[in-house]
Chains A and B, each alone.
Chain A
Amino acid sequence: KAGVTQTPRYLIKTRGQQVTLSCSPISGHRSVSWYQQTPGQGLQFLFEYFSETQRNKGNFPGRFSGRQFSNSRSEMNVSTLELGDSALYLCASSLSGSDNEQFFGPGTRLTVL
């Protein structure tokens, strides 16, 4: 079956702009989690969605938001971009939550100039 897909794969933005990233989970998976990965901070949890509801949120400012649609596809949005938002953004899907095996997508590499 098809894996987790993320679009776009690469993105370059400037400070102050906003960006929307998309994630399509594996068919049948209802949980989607988002992570930020940087060399300095490692892999950090952003939020988890299950059946269109945000189930958990990490310690990120309100500029980071997300949503999940009825087909389980998810988007995350970052507003008022800062240089420090440059990172690899990974989404992961699982059948019922992050206490199950998660399948990660290839990520979106965001560069903020």
Chain B
Amino acid sequence: GQNIDQPTEMTATEGAIVQINCTYQTSGFNGLFWYQQHAGEAPTFLSYNVLDGLEEKGRFSSFLSRSKGYSYLLLKELQMKDSASYLCAVYDYKLSFGAGTTVTVRA
């Protein structure tokens, strides 16, 4: 089975940093995705980690530790437009999504 856990909600201030954790216990693992979904919109791709370590892409970074079954998404210099749901998904020839973390950015 697939068990993917992430916090339900997080709130942060504009300009701050927020770290969204994702832990997983899955029957197989070939990589981990992060997607962003604004309310009422479709998910959009943020990152894909296959190997352990940190991947940086602009204000967003994603980290993976396969031995610990752990990933995080780091959002730096938060902007109001970053208010959205962030979905962690494990790829094992198909995607299994976590429930998502709703991030609210306050002025």
- Inter-chain contact A45/B95, CB cutoff 8 Å: yes
Q: Which residues of B contact A92 (CB under 8 A)?
A: 43
Q: Which residues of B contact A107 (CB under 8 A)?
A: 42
Q: Which residues of A contact B99 (CB under 8 A)?
A: 42
Q: Which residues of A contact B91 (CB under 8 A)?
A: 98-99
A residues with CB within 8 A of B: 33, 42-45, 48, 55-56, 58, 90, 92, 98-99, 101-107
A-B contact pairs, 26 of them (CB 8 A): A33-B94, A42-B87, A42-B98, A43-B43, A43-B87, A43-B89, A43-B97, A43-B100, A45-B95, A45-B96, A55-B93, A56-B94, A90-B42, A92-B43, A98-B91, A99-B30, A99-B93, A101-B45, A101-B48, A103-B45, A104-B42, A104-B43, A104-B44, A106-B41, A106-B42, A107-B42
- Given A42-B98, A99-B31, A101-B48, are A56 and B93 also a contact pair (CB < 8 Å)? yes
- Inter-chain contact B94/A45, CB cutoff 8 Å: yes
**Whose C-beta in chain A lies nearest to the C-beta of B4?**
A42
Number of interface residues of B (CB under 8 A): 19
B47-69 with Cβ < 8 A to chain A? 48
- Given A104-B42, A104-B43, A107-B42, are A42 and B94 also a contact pair (CB < 8 Å)? no
Query: How far is B92's CA from A58's CA once the two chains are assembled, in angstroms?
Result: 12
Q: Which residues of A contact B48 (CB under 8 A)?
A: 99, 101
Query: How far is B87's CA from A90's CA once the two chains are assembled, in angstroms?
Result: 15
- Inter-chain contact B42/A98, CB cutoff 8 Å: no
- Given A98-B95, A101-B45, A102-B45, are A42 and B30 also a contact pair (CB < 8 Å)? no
- Given A99-B31, A99-B91, A101-B48, are A44 and B42 also a contact pair (CB < 8 Å)? no
B1-44 with Cβ < 8 A to chain A? 30-31, 41-44
Q: Which residues of B contact A99 (CB under 8 A)?
A: 30-31, 48, 91, 93
